Chain A
């Protein structure tokens, strides 16, 4: 009986894994088959022409990279601050720690469309920035904060107490311990969380469509106010809605392949750090 239950459980688990892999494989295969023929050096280095029917997506790629770089710089200090508050400064105050924890999970649950509306009301209208790359970067950065914070907090919590005690025993102050023991030794956690967060942010459309990105006519922004960028996800969003032109269709799939490449590249970059993290955990 036991063995039968075991076997059934194994089968169900294996089926689940197969379905997940098949869905992923199917999406990737469909994208590659339709999109790869459109991807070429010209496609990557030329700007958009004829409302997407000709030319390439150079400034869409650049715009997405600008948004991601901004999101990285916004999320890093906020997430590090939160993780330190949660893991170090509130180490003795379980109640407050739970509250911060709850706030982080709530933030993670906020739909991306609400981030977009918030950004529209506050930055676009109230601060009168118009559409700006900075708003998009700020919003994507805030959306990444929970992922980065949780990865970092886990790493800080997993840090052997002995390191902190040894540093304290030498007379290092708390901020010195943070800078020379806690942060350097949880850097891989930060990097993992950041790369995963960026991979998700790269494909978000809702937070940037009213606040940061337009379809055509923007290059590299030179200021903040009224300085939108092009982006990969919004390009796909617009073209896939109202286009019956086959030349446009091929380019939409090509853009999707490039976006997948950005996302996949970021996830792959995170992989070695995650593996190393597991290895270290085993050695401790």
Chain B
């Protein structure tokens, strides 16, 4: 009982998380607690396991059978690693943005409602309204409002990343997991994505992997620093600013 009360204040709580590939550890004994109603940055050198940590949160690691995960992760007080967890439903509650935007070979509009239509089962009318709302929130509406039927692949990389953000927002996620979302983008798109995230963080907490400390300070309330010890990444510092 006490554990549940303790867990209620936390967005994500990690205890003793170790991820390994064969004999090699990637993350070792990570324990951390990200409070709800705040946004957090995850920083550290390349290859330290930041993406892997994010993929553990929504269990995308399951798609890489070579990786073995041990330890406990709770999302809003409920374990995400139990055998009885509905993984698809869990992933639907967490928006995920990859470093490189991934758009499906379909129209812009169909990309935006790709998940919402299939997972949330919304009807046509609701979807049309949703498309405009989330594209505005992602800072892309003005640029695409007259060409929603065009193939999404025609957009620039920066526009594609904002499209991916809109697609994630269309799921009305409870948290956004962002894996270096701006590192592949031009300055203009980076600024627009940052503006969107700045507006969103009041509504939906962010967990942002980034190499850019300035960006971390602008967009989040604190950070978890990882460093390499031996072959594995470990949490070395946790601070709130």
**A residues apposed to B, CB below 8 Å:** 91-92, 161-173, 176, 180-181, 185
Contact = CB atoms under 8 A, between A and B. Distances in A.
Contacts of B226: none
25 contacts: A91-B65, A92-B65, A162-B100, A163-B102, A164-B63, A165-B60, A165-B63, A166-B102, A166-B104, A167-B104, A167-B115, A169-B58, A169-B60, A169-B96, A170-B168, A171-B88, A171-B91, A171-B92, A171-B115, A171-B171, A172-B88, A172-B118, A173-B88, A180-B114, A185-B105
Interface residues of B, number: 24
Given A163-B104, A165-B98, A165-B102, A170 B63 contact: no
Contacts of B96: 169-170
Contacts of B92: 170-171
B119 interface: yes
B114 A170 contact: yes
Contacts of A163: 102, 104
A180 B111 CA distance: 11
A176 B104 CA distance: 14
Contacts of A164: 63
B167 interface: yes
B63 A162 contact: no
B119 A172 contact: yes
A185 to B, nearest CB: 7
Given A165-B63, A180-B118, A170 B171 contact: yes
Interface of B: 58, 60, 63, 65, 88-93, 96, 98, 100, 102, 104-105, 114-115, 118-119, 164, 167-168, 171
A281 to B, nearest CB: 14
Contacts, number: 57
Contacts of B58: 169
A180 B98 CA distance: 20
Contacts of A171: 88-93, 115, 119, 171
Contact of B115 (A92, A165, A172): A172
A171 B94 CA distance: 9
B95 to A, nearest CB: 8
A46 B60 CA distance: 63
A170 B100 CA distance: 16
Given A165-B98, A169-B98, 15 more contacts: A91-B65, A161-B63, A162-B102, A163-B102, A166-B102, A166-B104, A168-B60, A169-B58, A170-B115, A170-B171, A171-B91, A171-B119, A172-B115, A172-B119, A173-B88
